[in-house]
Amino acid sequence: MAITTEMVKELRAATGAGVLEAKKALEQNDGDFDKAVDMLREKGAARAAKRADRTAREGTIELYAHPGNRVGVMLELNCETDFVARNEQFRELAHDLALHIAAASPRYLTTEEVPVAELEREASVLRSQALAEGKPEAIIEKVVSGRITKFYEEFCLLEQPFIKDEKIKIKDMLTDAIRVTGENIVIRRFARYELGESLED
């Protein structure tokens, strides 16, 4: 299949890849747009892994208030250099992340942050539900494992599907940003406040 300039342009807009990289991905996947996107994402993940140990101390603190000022978010997004921190795409990423946190209410940043006691309690409840639904004993653990993944997607920021595009997870957005900027980018911390929420929660 002939790869057109328009196809390359569309793939670059979706992934931030360079012209040659986008063209090569399309050629290697016979013009299949989705497969080319997946290929570039995988390459981005490999590059992100290589950069993960690099120190990210620059960045921005993004403040976001939902219309009506009933929900507020404070987010620290870090990168390696002040140059990237001032970049419009980096600031857009920080804003999108804060907007997402306001809407999706994550409790934790990563799956590793979920307290063991909470995870065990959740697994116990899910096990009881699966038994009550009449699931065979042999597949209970598999069912529980699948539902724990759903639990992570609901409460762990990096595992959540992005509210503006549910085909991409928050961790994939970071991977794409790392690939585009060439720098390690990390969400350091975040806090979400909702008017009238209980302080005991």
Kindly state whether residues 18 and 95 are assigned to the same domain: no
Kindly state whether residues 149 and 120 are assigned to the same domain: yes
Amino acid at 109: L
CB 184 within 8 A of CB 80: yes
CB 130 within 8 A of CB 136: no
Residue with tokens 């946190």: 101
- Banded model confidence at residue 140, pLDDT cuts 50, 70, 90: confident
Residue 14, pLDDT score? 67
Report the pLDDT averaged over residues 149-155: 93
Query: Per the domain annotation, does 161 fall within a domain?
Result: yes
Kindly state whether residues 104 and 161 are assigned to the same domain: yes
pLDDT averaged over every residue in the chain: 85
User: Is it the case that residue 178 has pLDDT exceeding 60?
Assistant: yes
- Residue 27 φ then ψ, to 5°: -65, -45
Residue 106, pLDDT score? 97
Please name the residue ranges forming H helices in 52-183.
82-85, 88-104, 116-132, 140-155, 170-181
Q: Give the burial string for 81-118 (b: 16+ CB within 10 Å, else e).
A: eeebbebeebeebbbbbbbbbbebebebbebeebeeee
Kindly state whether residues 142 and 73 are assigned to the same domain: no
Q: Which domain holds residue 75?
A: 58-109+157-194
Query: Per the domain annotation, does 199 fall within a domain?
Result: no
* Lowest-pLDDT choice from 2-11, 86-95, 121-130: 2-11
User: Is it the case that residue 199 has pLDDT exceeding 70?
Assistant: no
Domain boundary among 15, 35, 51: 51
The count of domains in the chain is 3
User: Is it the case that residue 159 has pLDDT exceeding 90?
Assistant: yes
Kindly state whether residues 89 and 166 are assigned to the same domain: yes
Angstrom distances, CA of residue 131 to CA of 50, 66, 119, 123, 136: 43, 41, 18, 12, 8
Percent of the chain with pLDDT over 70: 86
Residue with tokens 């961790």: 171
CATH code for the domain of 180: 3.30.479.20
Query: Per the domain annotation, does 200 fall within a domain?
Result: no
Amino acid at 127: R
Between 21 and 112, where is the model more confident?
A: 112
